[in-house]
Chain A
């Protein structure tokens, strides 16, 4: 009854595909698009992809299922979900710290993510109007050297995110993911088809998928484990918050499997959209902002219809970023509104404002504050990234796996998982109890040593 009441206060997903689209939208972000293809290509191609898929099965999926189970069981925001489920399992209410750390990580990530997503928005217009007179590295330098420009686009992106989240689960996030995700899929297929016809597609396939086991080292394993963990938006409460709105009759395991598969598929398609163009113009494959804002813009400047294909590509990036950003904001907003501290709309406004202020620091890290260190050797943006991605997320993910594996009552787990193959269930229990915490712990350890 209490859960039903809480669900009513937030709303619930309409139809089983809304959760899948929302969770996939959360998982598919800039990291998938500009990170995974390069990692795969430089770490053994098909060999890396195989290892990555293995890591998804033993780390990503078990933790994702755990987050959904906790979220749906409680029907609350991550903080209250962890607290309520822990109390129901006669454990300490201090487990709520996992929820707090997730929300805090989400806020920090969104603060710099929105600055980078803002650059994507800016590039929609730059790529549409670029004459090629300014080289792409100079163009990128001119974009990031202007604090006013960065803050303007950062503000626009944060406002868009806040508007969607403040509109609620059904009318805001639920409605938007039903628009954004098919749009992302359509744009991705269009880009792949374009690259297939015009780019050096065969070379890209060879770069991404030809297995080269001589390139596989212990570092490859670490990269694959990290990618499997970080790419699914785990440890930040987003999946737990989305799980809270999942209908009770929806299968947790198959939904998680679908989300992980779609996330991987989109990452691979991104590689097949980007690298044929990079190779066709004899540009060096790389990753991150350098790949999309420098190399891709350079290719768009040179290609036929580049002023049309370029904006479509940056719209694709912006859509991926927006679908992730709403999931970063949602856990905090859900907490404040369910506690009755503020209305949902007010919560979204206040948290977004706080994120916007933090984001200004990240925007300035590209220019006037580039030499200002918050953590020794790291500027503002890098410090936010370090605290969130290298400390809070692995800790959160590890603690979630430990809680579900060692402290959560089996009867509660089985209630949420429902009818499933017993061997599959036992395997999942084994992974979540032993393998996932150890692997995430290892990722955490290797970030420092």
Chain B
């Protein structure tokens, strides 16, 4: 397997918890549903911190890398904020921040100099994976605001 295939295989494997945690609430409902959404946010914050850390591993002499280091830290801080929102029972805000963060990280990565020279398969994989993760959070958001399923109703 070439390196891009390995990356996409691991990437989609890493997506499965997002899918599982976003579908579970609709099937089980109640306390299990709520727990699944909290787990999804927690897993999301881990992955977002990981993504923020990735930017520190990018080539040091690429243009604007100094700015990229700061933006990378920002994503780790957002992850921390997501967990605080959960602690404060602000689940909906945590979910919306997750949707925006994952999509915006993709645009951030896409804007870097080195991304333009990446393999086409990797570019497609990154776009698709970010979209899928955002959709999984949107599905959970819909569960949370739906009047028939919202655990707070």
Contact = CB atoms under 8 A, between A and B. Distances in A.
Interface of A: 193, 196-203, 205-206, 280
B26 interface: yes
B90 to A, nearest CB: 19
Contacts of B132: none
A280 B29 CA distance: 16
B19 interface: no
Contacts of B146: 196-199, 201-202
Main secondary structure of the interface of B (DSSP, over half): helix
B139 interface: yes
A199 B27 CA distance: 15
B4 interface: no
Contacts of A196: 139, 142-143, 146
Interface of B: 26-27, 29, 138-139, 142-143, 145-149
A193 B148 contact: no
Residue of B143, B145, B148 with most chain A CB atoms under a 10 A cut-off: B148
Given A200-B148, A201-B146, A201-B149, 17 more contacts: A193-B138, A193-B142, A196-B139, A196-B142, A196-B146, A197-B142, A197-B146, A198-B147, A199-B146, A201-B26, A201-B142, A202-B27, A202-B29, A202-B146, A202-B149, A205-B26, A206-B27
Contacts of B148: 199-203, 280
11 contacts: A193-B142, A196-B139, A196-B143, A196-B146, A197-B145, A197-B146, A198-B147, A201-B146, A202-B149, A203-B148, A205-B26
Contacts of B138: 193
Contacts of A200: 148
A202 B148 CA distance: 8
Contact of A205 (B27, B145, B147): B27
A275 to B, nearest CB: 12
A264 B26 CA distance: 21
A200 B143 CA distance: 10
A201 B147 CA distance: 10
Nearest to B142: A196
A205 to B, nearest CB: 5
Contacts of B147: 198
A206 B145 CA distance: 19
A401 B125 CA distance: 40
A324 to B, nearest CB: 29
B42 to A, nearest CB: 23
Contacts of B145: 197
A165 to B, nearest CB: 36
B91 to A, nearest CB: 16
A198 B148 CA distance: 8
Nearest to A276: B148
Contacts of B149: 201-202
A276 B151 CA distance: 18
Contacts of A201: 26, 142-143, 146, 148-149
A201 B138 CA distance: 14
Contacts of A193: 138, 142
